[in-house]
Chain A
Amino acid sequence: MTKDVKKSKIETPKERQNRHKAMEAAMVLDKIKHDFKEPPKAMNYFYDLYENVHCKQQALHNDKVKVGTMCIQVPSEIIYALDAVPVRLCNGFYTDDDIGSDLLPAKSCPLVKATVGQFSSYNFTDKPDVIISPTTCDQKAKSGAIIEDMGYSVFDMEFPRTKESEESREYWRRSVRKFTKELSSDLNKKLTKKKLKEAIKKVGYAQHLYHKLNILRKNSHLPILGTDMFLVTNAFFFDKIDNWIEATTQLLKETEQRVKDEVNAAGKRSPRIVYTGSPPIFPNLKIPLLIEQSDAVIVADETCSSNRMFNDMVSVDEWFMYDMVDSVADRYLKGCTCPIFTKNEDRKRRIVDLVREYNAEGVVYQAFAGCQVYEMEQRSVLEAMEKEGIPILYIETDYSPSHLGQLTTRIEAFVESLKNRRRKK
């Protein structure tokens, strides 16, 4: 009797949110799995992972302390060394974006709205025990305080907005040292030299695997699609690192074999694209999907949900505690190409270098409507690309499923123009 009552009960907001998110996730996974040629078999691990976490709401880290991070700059090495797991909370769900819209100004960035929206719903599969909010862009910095008001424990991690000067480097190093101390006392765990060294090497190994996989995309026979790569890198946000390493090792092996067999993940002559701008975060893989559905391929990217997370590695000269902490700190500041910095020469150089190294023919630049810094940098990046003779498409979009028709038309036209350009050459 009671069971029947439960069944007929009206869905709670939480259940509704989960159902909507599961639908969003399932739809994207379905497209990735079925709209393209056969993906590498090892990708199944990642498809299942997203299904388990986002459709079935399975928790991954029940036995561990979870440290929620609001941006790429929180050193995961230190969190791992303290026996906790970093869970990156940057959110890609339209469902959560919708909830967040009530709490933030209308013209805010959808990523920030979705992140705040999820916090306001108190609905997490792996609920973070503490939240680290680096003061990167205005919207993220301010939402740290909003989230704190909701009753979460938030640590604001001060982050400089310039990175060239020695002062900024010293400031950020201090900030990371402070973070290390506070997190260590908060979690009641002592940071040891051995643990930190192990953590640095483990994250370094994960990066090393990513690089080995990524380099395979330089081949003229592209062995793996960009959307699949986004799934692999996005999984690093929340997956157990050991599982991720194992799955990526498998994927690497299979992809290497595909390179040898000259397997093409897409068409033989699909235009090759470098993707830059606001980060595609599962399930908001709207633009990457549209690109690859329009017979182009993403061969490299410059985004904080993917390449930027893995690119720069830690080097340590003498493995002493604070040498390690400082070296870790440097990795998150000096090589970072985030648009929140005053200058963006590094980002432009990086995009041009990626285009050259990966033999790309064009660049797609996505800015989330409301992400002011990416919107502001658009013009200078466009100019830099023009100077180098690299075609670039700028797209402003958000998480909503509308405008798909218009976006498809623009992307298809861009891909077509790249093909024409090739014919003329």
Chain B
Amino acid sequence: MSAEGRPFPPEGFTPSLPKVSHLREGMPGTLRPEDSAEYPPEGVKPSGGRWRLWRLLRSLRFAVILMGLIALACVVGTIIQQDTPQAVQRGERHGPLATFLGLHRLYGTWWFLGLLALFALSTTACALSRLRFQLRSLGSAMVHLSLLFIVAGVVLRGLVGLDSYVAIPEGETVDSIQVGDDTVPLGFQLRLDDFEVRRHGDGAEETRWLFLKYPGVHAEGAHGGPLMQYVGTNGSDALMMKFSEDTPTLTAPFQVGKPLHVRLYGTRIEVLRYLPDFKMPMTKGGEPYSASEEPSNPAIQVRVTSPGPLDAYVSRVTISGEPGREPRAASILVNQPLRAGSFMFYQVDYDHETERGTVLEAVYDPGVPLVFIGFILMPAGIAFVFYVQPLLKRRRGRPEAATRENEYRTPNTECPISKSDEARSFSRTS
């Protein structure tokens, strides 16, 4: 009996033996020709690298250890900030060990993918060595087979999948996408006819003073809208603003005495007044005034109008040149992608400055059907294992599989407590 409590080898299992003819006599792991094909031969313990490998792969303990290692690696990847495209652009460097291990792009490293590949192998081996061609193995087979479908789909995506961002200003047409250094033709033309941003409500207006000597956070958008951070002046009469750490600094020149309308991320900024030497009046309710003409405390009064929160943004496009199809119009929204040719187009972003340009993502992923088959098989298989299999066991007249005695030896999914056991329950008062 193996340590896992099951007879080994399991009935019906015949591993393929190495062909004897091409191996030298007496080599470890071979049988002498006079031995029969019986397995395992008496007195001979299977040995050899291939055999040990198989034993490792079919071992549940190995599978569980792999699952634990994958979980651990996943956790590390969420603690250590993974490279964003911006970080890659900035050429950020990390310590030598982190770079070697690829900790900042963990999910694509050789060792992580190797763990996943090993897990797929282990799943296959464990399933093959334990499951029979019986109805009651169906659930388990479905679950573990689904894992392989998913892995196959992911591999296919990695090998031949394409995806790329496509920015299209209103009125423009694209017929190809850039994937790395290659230009991939779409096979049709895509024209952005109209782009619309819809918002909830009218937004909010706020009037405040910015002290040009003291940069900092100054204007908050209402309803969770963008936060405008006044960064400073660039020496001349120009305001520098940021909306978040990742956005570039926008420079907005202003002229004293002239209102300025700037559309930044939908936010409008008007410069109303300029005071070279800002002073608050002593009396309550009085207006600020300028104590002198010297710019010792320069300040400007701005009115910031923030838009309401985003409701939706729509790209209205025309697709033409598809082989065998008439030109057609379509709308692309988040959650409503467009299928054209062999690509899918997703609404991911838009030109925040002009709000007249869209950013779509073009994706080609032939592995999706495989992954989705896995997605259907997996819950179905799990439901089968936990809710159908016990009924089958009971119907086949194996009530012993459902008693408490066996509940720790086999994966007993039958709840061992039946109504009649209530008499023996701890609480006897109900």
B partners with A: no
